[in-house]
Structure 1
């Protein structure tokens, strides 16, 4: 298991669910991550769609375990 701390991590995966405040993705290692986009200006070409493959940089916070806060999102074409 990865130690939880306030450092930046990266993952690539497929979007399985999306809301106004974030999305859930499954990585190639079959890990499920919830990525929060609240208060972030994340602009993706043609928006975010279920099934999109993304590369995400995110912060795991000690204050709210399980909440990963997006710092950068790139669509993989």
Structure 2
């Protein structure tokens, strides 16, 4: 998993969560279209993070099977590929 990408996604998600809280306090309705749009954006980020973590788990599993447990995901891809 690309740690920089993961860190970026997590920070962006945290910002969206703060924004959602502020908007909910200001607007007062969780069904407001603006709040729904921000919530959907947060959902997409969560899905991206889950996919990245799933890929990391697959790389680790492949590394264990291949005896390459010390390699990172990109190294493993080069080694296996």
What TM-score does the superposition give when structure 1 sets the normalisation length?
0.20
Q: Per residue, is there more helix in 1 or in 2? A: 2
Q: Per residue, is there more strand in 1 or in 2? A: 1
Q: From the CA coordinates, give the structure whose radius of gyration is larger.
A: 2
